[in-house]
Amino acid sequence: MGKTSSIKGVLFDLDGTLVDTEALILASFRYATKTVLGRDIPDEELRAKIGQPLTVQMWDWADGSQEVHDKLFDTYLEHNDRIHSQLIRSFPDTTAVLGKLAAAGLPLGIVTSKRSGNARRAMESTGIEGYFDFLVAPDTFPAHKPDPAPVLHGCELFGVSPDECIYIGDSPYDLQAGRGAGCVTVAALWGMFAREELLAEHPDYAITSLSELVPIAAGK
């Protein structure tokens, strides 16, 4: 590992990387699947596609039915909205690290699979919205992770080449998208996916706390 030398921008995933939404997401999934399907689904199955847009994830349990898919989707969002403020948390070092990166003159952006309205609400709830130049979300850009296109779009918004940009995330989909775009990839090992799953994607760096990102971004 050790690929950085002239980083000119940092792109972040949101859920599980900057904000701790695991309890919120799982509670919303449990409620939606129990309410619509009448059964309990193990958490490991519910976690399996976190990192992709919600509308994609819901097809795993819809058995090909658009009606069931839409009921799952709507029920999830309604419950998520009700419990959002109770369960969303920021990770301990998020704000401090974002401040250090901004002070170093690095532009910051978010490329997320969360819909833009919910993403902005999460950012506002945790006090981090002011650090970012833009948000790329599945309802603002046509492709989604693991397709590299939204990450490439983030690089374009910065006006930098992908090899001058970091993409950090906590899911295999993040690392696949970042690698496909040609970015420096950083695995966030504190998120929702197992260390082994992330290391299997061969990230350029794997870190156990966000504070470790600062010297990587500085090229040290």
Concerning whether 15 is annotated as a catalytic residue, the answer is no
Please pick, among 13, 15, 174, 204, the residue that the annotation labels catalytic.
13
**DSSP codes of every residue in the chain:** ----SS--EEEE--BTTTEE-HHHHHHHHHHHHHHHHSS---HHHHHTTBTB-HHHHGGGTTTT-HHHHHHHHHHHHHHHHHHHHHH-EE-TTHHHHHHHHHHTT--EEEE-SS-HHHHHHHHHHTT-GGG-SEEE-TTTSS--TTSSHHHHHHHHHHT--GGGEEEEESSHHHHHHHHHHTPEEEEETTSSS-HHHHHTT--SEEESSGGGHHHHHTT-
- Quick one: CA torsion of 200, 204, 206, 209, rounded to 10 degrees? -150
What is the separation of C-alpha 24 from the centre of its chain, rounded to a whole number of angstroms? 14
Query: Residue 91 in contact with residue 18, Cβ under 8 Å?
Result: yes
Q: Which residues are catalytic?
A: 13
